[in-house]
Structure 1
Amino acid sequence: MEFTSSVGEQRWAALVRAAAETVVGLDFDGTLSPIVDDPAAAHIHPDASEVLVDLAAQVAAVAVVTGRPARQALDLGGLEEVGDAIERSGKELYLFGQYGNERWSSTHRRIISPRPPVGLAAFLRDLPRALRTAEASDAFVEDKGLAHAVHTRRLPDRDAAYDRLLPLLRELAGRNGLVLEPGRNVIEVRAPGMDKGQAVRTLADEVGAGGFLFAGDDLGDLEAFDAVAKMAKDGMPTLLVCSASDEQSALVEHSDVVVHGPEGVLDLLRQLTADARDLRA
């Protein structure tokens, strides 16, 4: 792992000391699972389950905070089984799906979800015209139930198509009272009023966190980063981790630590687990 400054090193040391009271929040895509062309094939890194279970024994709680539907993240991550193992250690695994609109935990075992947002039907009615205008009719449109995501990764000119689509979908979302969430070759449109920052604040309050680590990989995690940065200003030990890649480094300037992809994230979590365990010994 690479600290972005000496302050980052100091924050690591403070977080290790506060590990027993710390909540670890993790994005899914690009953080726990590799980015792939087919979102339905983005399975969690094969080492992640063991790493998360070991980590849970040293911290207050572990949470996955993702834009994916909760059911999808549970299945792709094998998170119900991970939750079982974490429960046996006396801790809890939390899952916030669709940017916090859906919730699940290893204790309650039921996905809590609101109704689809007003305006989504009208957005979908006009979406094909926007895709044609942007010369991106072959973009993959993912139905998330509470949101829709337009993926340009499979297109031959994916970055140019993304740039053409972004202003069109932003206008269309605004017209229908929805918010737009840009990501890595994906543009998601969903209901307003909830984002990863709010999910992080809710989790910290409910757990009574005395420290917070959040790891993410793209602009969809910026609200969570901002929420954790506010906790740091209020005196809480925190650490912001960017899971960077060759194609995405949007969060580097906001981070205390930069690692390379899911393998780097898991190495950092292994180190946190080992350092916290050694400090307690």
Structure 2
Amino acid sequence: METPEGLRAILADPAGAVIGLDFDGTLSPIVPDPDAARIHPRGPELLARLGGRVRAVAVVTGRPAATAVEYGSLAEVPGVVVLGHYGLERWEAGTLTAPPVHPGLDRARAELPRLIEGVAGARFEDKERSVAVHTRGTAEPQATLEALRDPVAKLAAEVGLAVEPGKFVLELRPPGTDKGAALGAFLAERGARSVLFAGDDLGDLAAFAAVRASGLPGVTVFSGSAEASAEVAAQADIVVDGPEGVMDLLASIADAIER
């Protein structure tokens, strides 16, 4: 396979490159219980190698930034910035910054669990600055997700939140926040000259779009099975086999830069 132009630009000028990475499904395998997710064992070392050689490594995630730092063992990884809650939170060099919590979350936190009462296997998740319903553990995850879509959207509209769909999840979060906006602002802040972003879910499409909209040499990477997530895979320049494939790609980039 021919090396994409964006990847060639990163290797030719690593000091100008931003490497952006989703967490779940990209740096960490997807697991039934999100609280059990942990970064791939090779992740911290590879991020440290890249962090010392590129403009920046940014983990862009829907998780709270502090959670991604903990689950990713990132506290001691130099050069890594974590943009949590789709960019609402930022962790850098041990310092966490964040705006006030959206006022509609209190009601959403109280009412969303009631919407899934009696739905065996459905799970409520409180992310502090967003809340979510997961249907992965139900007997029919997709059918259950579709059945919940309208009532969840109605609740979101009433409390002034937006609904972000994903793989067997509906997340309610403040409007106007997404990975694309977070990544685009970070590229401008750092004066990036090239960019890579790797993700695995529908929420990562906004970041893929930000790579294209930046006008920089860029490459988008889908982490997972093209058959399982055809919509996301179709938007990617490179498809790799989940977090293991992401690690192999990052290692090849680090090796090439070091050579």
Secondary structure of 1:111's counterpart equals strand
Q: Find 2:123's aligned residue among 140, 156, 166.
A: 140
Q: Find 1:272's aligned residue among 229, 253, 256.
A: 253
**Aligned residue in 2 for 1:157:** 140
**Aligned residue in 1 for 2:96:** 111
Q: Is the 8 A contact 2:16 2:192 kept in 1?
A: yes
Q: Find 1:190's aligned residue among 161, 169, 173.
A: 173
Q: Find 2:32's aligned residue among 24, 30, 37.
A: 37
Moved more, 163-172 or 34-43: 163-172
Q: Find 2:10's aligned residue among 10, 15, 19.
A: 15
Q: Given the alignment of the two structures, is residue 259 of structure 1 paired with residue 254 of structure 2, yes or no?
A: no
**In 2, Cα distance between equivalents of 1:104 and 1:18:** 26
Moved more, 8-17 or 21-30: 8-17
**One-letter code aligned to 1:112:** T
Q: Find 1:123's aligned residue among 80, 103, 108.
A: 108
Alpha-carbon distance change, 30 to 11 in structure 1, aligned in 2, over 3 angstroms: same
**In 2, Cα distance between equivalents of 1:250 and 1:30:** 16
**Aligned residue in 2 for 1:94:** 81
**Aligned residue in 1 for 2:222:** 242
Deviation of the 1:78 alpha carbon:
0.7
Query: Per-residue CA shift, 1:107-153, capped at 9, x if unaligned?
Result: xx221122221222232343244325xx6364111111111011111
**One-letter code aligned to 1:189:** L
**Aligned residue in 2 for 1:210:** 193
Using structure 1 for the length normalisation, give the TM-score. Answer: 0.86
**One-letter code aligned to 1:240:** T
Q: Is the 8 A contact 1:128 1:137 kept in 2?
A: no
**One-letter code aligned to 1:103:** R
Q: Is the 8 A contact 1:217 1:249 kept in 2?
A: no
Secondary structure of 1:50's counterpart equals helix
Moved more, 45-54 or 117-126: 117-126
**One-letter code aligned to 1:195:** D
Q: Is the 8 A contact 2:109 2:126 kept in 1?
A: no
CA root-mean-square deviation? 1.7
Which runs of 5 or more residues in structure 2 are unaligned? Answer: none
**One-letter code aligned to 2:165:** P
Q: Find 1:48's aligned residue among 39, 43, 48.
A: 43
**In 2, Cα distance between equivalents of 1:249 and 1:57:** 34
**In 1, Cα distance between equivalents of 2:81 and 2:231:** 26
**In 1, Cα distance between equivalents of 2:75 and 2:125:** 23
Using structure 2 for the length normalisation, give the TM-score. Answer: 0.93
Identity of aligned residues (%): 43
Q: Is the 8 A contact 1:66 1:97 kept in 2?
A: yes
Query: Per-residue CA shift, 1:181-224, capped at 9, x if unaligned?
Result: 11111111011122111111121122111111100000111111
**One-letter code aligned to 2:54:** V
**Aligned residue in 2 for 1:89:** none
Q: Is the 8 A contact 1:15 1:239 kept in 2?
A: no
Query: Per-residue CA shift, 1:230-252, capped at 9, x if unaligned?
Result: 11xx2x11110010236334311
